Amino acid sequence: MKNEHIKVNALVLVALVMCVQSLLSCQGFRMETYDGQRKPDAPPAKHLKRAMDHTKSRSDKDMADVLEQFQGLHPKPIVSLSAEEARQQPTPADAVTALLRERNQSANPITIGKTENRLIPGPGEPLPIRVYTPLGMGPFPVIVYYHGGGWVIGTIDTYDSSARALTSTVGAIVVSVEYRKAPEHKFPAAHEDAYAAYQWVLRNADTFGGDPSMVAVAGESAGGNLAAAVCLMARARGELLPVHQVLIYPVAGYYFDTPSYQENAEAKPLDKPMMVWFFKKYLRTPDQGRSQWIDLVNAPNLSGLPSATIITAELDPLRSEGKRYAERLLEAGVPVTHQNFLGVTHEFFGMSAVVRDARRAVRLVANGINGAIDDPAFSRDHGRLGKGIQIEPLQE
């Protein structure tokens, strides 16, 4: 009888262990760790409100109106969430839509010629892309576009407005790439996907109305990092270089103590804790943050890279590294246009429906790409690459 009790107790213990494991599996976000450390709890609501109010007070009216709407959507701080939960949170793009509806303005997307969703080969799995074609007759220049989201969140859909604005204003086909994301796919998965998509466009642009001799790369935030890295990868691997690189508030370093990180540590919609969270999700180890594909500002050799348009935002932790990368490119003899937009935050570029500076930024990009195509000073022919052209003063 005693042995039977022991067996029953043992079975109960095993069942309890299995039950706990099952619960942890179903709710793994509650126990996510990195380097043995448990993820932080959500900041107090009062702290979040104070941070948002402070950002709004420093913003221009257009940006403040968007932030007000974003605050009303009650996004949770992603540092307290799993990647899966973070991907379900409201976005600044949702705030733009809400603002348009509040004003009884159309929230319909910018009209272009057509869009087409496709799958292309990738290094790990097929990559979804969306091809945005402008009105008119081709062949058109092509922009390979990488969306933002810290290599963890964000989709082609989230950044649809940016792709459409570029298509319409530049008069180019935009190929928006859905790369693999962390933590499911760690560094360098997103980078290799970005490069594979660029190569595919070079070899297939003529099949969808594009000109394979006029292919540029562009990206926002983590996507800006990918666009810059693709240029480095193409040069190192002997591939044809893009005609131009558009880096919109790019991740360009693995540092959290720059002047803009200190000024905007609690800015919204992007703050310092979020950037730490993104890096922890994407990098296998902190040492990978020293890769030149991540730490662009300290890449040993930037000579011979394509001309660049670099856009930064005043109220953004990434402002200083974007400015520094512009300086490094200029020092290497690469033609660069850089502009820092005052009174706006990270993610402003895709808000052209409601933020005036977003429209200005899109026009700046159009000028840069068209200049790269038309002006020998911006040519990717290394034999004709002239002295770096500083069109806009580099600002801190």
Catalytic residue positions, numbered: 221, 316, 346
Q: What is the phi/psi pair of residue 208, to 5°?
A: -125, 30
Which of 364, 31, 131, 240 minimizes the C-alpha distance to 231? 240
Q: Which two tokens stand for residue 296?
A: 């662009």
DSSP state of 63: H
358-372 burial string, b = 16+ CB within 10 Å, else e? bbebbebbbebbbbb
How far, in Å, CA of 275 to CA of 258, rounded?
A: 13
Beta-carbon count within 10 A of 331 CB: 12
Residue 39: exposed, middle, or buried by beta-carbon count in 10 A (0-12, 13-18, 19+)? middle
Which of 278, 272, 387, 380 minimizes the C-alpha distance to 336? 387
How far, in Å, CA of 331 to CA of 359, rounded?
A: 29
Which of 188, 343, 182 minimizes the C-alpha distance to 267? 343
How far, in Å, CA of 224 to CA of 349, rounded?
A: 12
Q: Which two tokens stand for residue 131?
A: 């091809």
DSSP state of 365: H
How far, in Å, CA of 351 to CA of 62, rounded?
A: 10
Q: What is the phi/psi pair of residue 311, to 5°?
A: -115, 130
Which of 271, 361, 355, 356 minimizes the C-alpha distance to 99? 355
Count of helices and strands (H, E) across the chain: 12, 10
